[in-house]
Amino acid sequence: MTGAQSITTRQRGWLSSRRNQERLKLGFAYFICTAIGLIYIFPFYWMLATSLKSDQEVFQWPPAWIPAVLHWENYPAALNYIPFWLYMKNTFIIATLSVIGTVISCTLIAYGFSRIRWPGRDIVFIAYLSTLMLPFQVTMIPLYIVFRNLGWVGTYLPLVVPTFFGSPFYVFLLRQFYMTIPNELSDAARIDGCGELSIFWRIMIPLTKPALFTVALFTFLAQYSAFLPPLIYLTDQKQWTISLGLQMFKNMYGLQWQKMMAASTLTMLPPLVLFFFTQRTFMEGITLTGIKG
């Protein structure tokens, strides 16, 4: 009994140590994060595993978690089923032009709402921000009528031109970032003779690079995976994006799931590579406030 009491006392003493408590909390946090990470990565693993299976293994029950033989030929076969590289080129053109338009327009609009004082600024900003409550399905038909009357249906213009007029969400994001920058920097620049455009270009832009990268990455991912707008406005199959191409693949070759998963895996690679190389700047843009000291 004395030995059991001694072990219990040691355990209580070990648990009472603050360092050991922190280790337990950290270990539990790592365990939860690892479990959540495995849950999120499982669909991607299943897509990758399916892309390397044979036709029989795809419909096998119980399912094969690991392919018996890796069928790498599914990838070149998937590229031949649809004009994959043409659709990827179209997608990159739309996404790149949209990133340029969004970054330029939202940066200027956010600067005007945050750093320049003018009558009714806050009221206009609230009205502008309230447009976020309108879903795309509400404005879809009026926008289509407008673009049809302009003769833009069947071109990339309805997908690209609106990005040069700003996006309320990204304007809000950049405005909040601008407001964390001390006004003393702008006042010192004005004393030195700088105008608003000079302050914007020489002071604000270098300080807001992380936020600009965040907006650019969000815009690229949104345009890269967009399905409904290209479906509405692109009438020529040669103009289709990769999202429309994968949908066509599903409709025409629905039973070729291994090739469908191969094409989907290749489609996911550009966003993954882009995020891998920009993740540090992206996280800094999300979390950074103010300026570095």
Q: Could you tell me if residue 210 is inside a domain? A: yes
Sign of CA dihedral 238, 157, 105, 170: negative
Q: Could you tell me if residue 17 is inside a domain? A: no
At how many degrees (to 10) do helices 257-287 and 74-81 cross?
90
Q: Could you tell me if residue 65 is inside a domain? A: no
Q: Check which CATH number belongs to the domain holding 83 and give it.
A: 1.10.3720.10
What is the greatest pairwise CA distance in the chain?
91
pLDDT score for 251: 67
State how many domains the chain has.
1
> Cα–Cα distances in Å, from 243 out to 186, 223, 281?
45, 10, 27
Tokens read off for 176: 């909040």
Length of the chain: 293
Q: Could you tell me if residue 263 is inside a domain? A: yes
Q: Could you tell me if residue 7 is inside a domain? A: no
Q: Assign 3-class secondary structure to 161-229.
A: HHHHHCCHHHHHHHHHHHHCCCHHHHHHHHHCCCCHHHHHHHHHHHHCHHHHHHHHHHHHHHHHCCCHH
Q: Which domain holds residue 173?
A: 74-287
Q: Could you tell me if residue 37 is inside a domain? A: no
Q: pTM for this structure?
A: 0.79
DSSP three-state, residue 66? coil
pLDDT score for 72: 84
Residue type, 210: P
Q: Could you tell me if residue 12 is inside a domain? A: no
Q: Could you tell me if residue 40 is inside a domain? A: no
pLDDT, averaged per 10 consecutive residues of the chain (293 residues), comes to 51 60 81 88 85 79 80 83 88 94 92 86 88 86 92 91 90 87 82 81 83 88 89 89 83 72 86 78 56 40
pLDDT score for 178: 87
